[in-house]
Structure 1
Amino acid sequence: MPPHRSAPVHSAPSDSPRTLSASARRMIAGLSLWWLASPVAFVLSTVVGLGSRDRDPLWEAVSVVLLWSGIGGVVVAPAVGLLIAFRVRQRPARRRFAVMGAVSLVVCVLALLFWQFAMECAPGQVC
């Protein structure tokens, strides 16, 4: 009777789930940090934009980059993070990005409402 041997060990391919999971975890962490840094980017954009009274082109460009970085963090980070979390089947990350998306949506709606009310003319004024 031949002795029982275990199945031969094959080397894992380069696209192993462990490697995908580690890179996915790094992407999830990076997108989470980007989302958390978005309010800081908005505030810095405002400070830099208001601080450059002489309209220096360099500081105007820095202000625009910070503004778009903040907008991207609010809009893009939760969407891409949710897609990655669904792809790698990480339930806690899915919940986190769903909450991040909901918070971002509420903040965007409130900002649009504030902008709408701020743009209204006072009675008796011509806009």
Structure 2
Amino acid sequence: MPTKNSAPVHNAPSDSPSTLPASAVRVIAGLTLWWSASPVAFILSTVVGLGSRDRDPFWEIVSVVLLWSGIGGVVVAPAIGLLIAFRLRQRPARRRFAIMGAVSLAVCTLALLFWEFAMECAPGHTC
């Protein structure tokens, strides 16, 4: 049974987000949303790129920006989020960003594998 004279421990790391600064919570949430929105950015990039058959320069730029936003969300967001979560000693955020990184790595590996198979020459054709 604790006594009234026991001193509270102030140096113990806390996993509750209420002890974090508001800016850190916003950055973690923003990186999570950026990663979550990456598939939407890829799909919109494809739709805008295929929809602008007349090669309007504005829509070409929009398509490229959406493409790089999607790539950045898949690659950069989990890496930066993991670094921030390690720095702030946030175990739930570390787990979340580690899972996001693993899923991103798996999707990128499958996309590269698909790309390799899609670029193969058909039998009887020379490339």
Q: Do both share a fold (TM > 0.5)?
A: yes
CA contact (8 A) 1:21 1:88 kept: no
Compute the displacement of 1:21 (Å): 2.6
Q: Which residue does 2:95 correspond to in 1?
A: 95
> How big is the shift at 1:37?
0.2
> What is aligned with 2:6?
none
Counterpart of 1:118 in structure 2 is 118
Q: Distance in 1 between matches of 2:20 and 2:98?
A: 22
RMSD of aligned Cα (Å) = 1.3
TM-score by length of 1: 0.84
Q: Which residue of 1 aligns with 2:41?
A: 41
* Distance in structure 1 (CA, Å) of the matches to 2:57 and 2:37: 24
Unaligned segments of structure 1, at least 5 residues: 1-17
Q: Distance in 2 between matches of 1:60 and 1:20?
A: 41
Q: Deviation string for 1:19-53 (max 9, x for gaps)?
A: 86321111000000000000000000000000000
- AA in 1 matched with 2:83: L
Paired letter, 1:117:
F
Q: Runs of 4+ in structure 1 displaced over 6 angstroms?
A: none
* Matched residue SS, 2:120: coil
TM-score normalised to the size of structure 2? 0.84
Percent identical: 85
Contact 1:45 1:62 in 2 (8 A): yes
Aligned residues: 110
Corresponding residue of 2:32: 32
* Per-residue deviation, residues 74-121 of structure 1 (Å, max 9, x unmatched): 000000000000111110000000000000000000000000000000
Letter of the structure 1 residue corresponding to residue 87 of structure 2? R
CA separation in 1, counterparts of 2:19 and 2:109?
A: 39
Unaligned runs of 5+ in 2: 1-17
- Which residues in structure 2 correspond to 1:52-91 (within 5 Å)? 52-91=52-91
Distance in 2 (alpha carbons) for counterparts of 1:48 and 1:106: 26
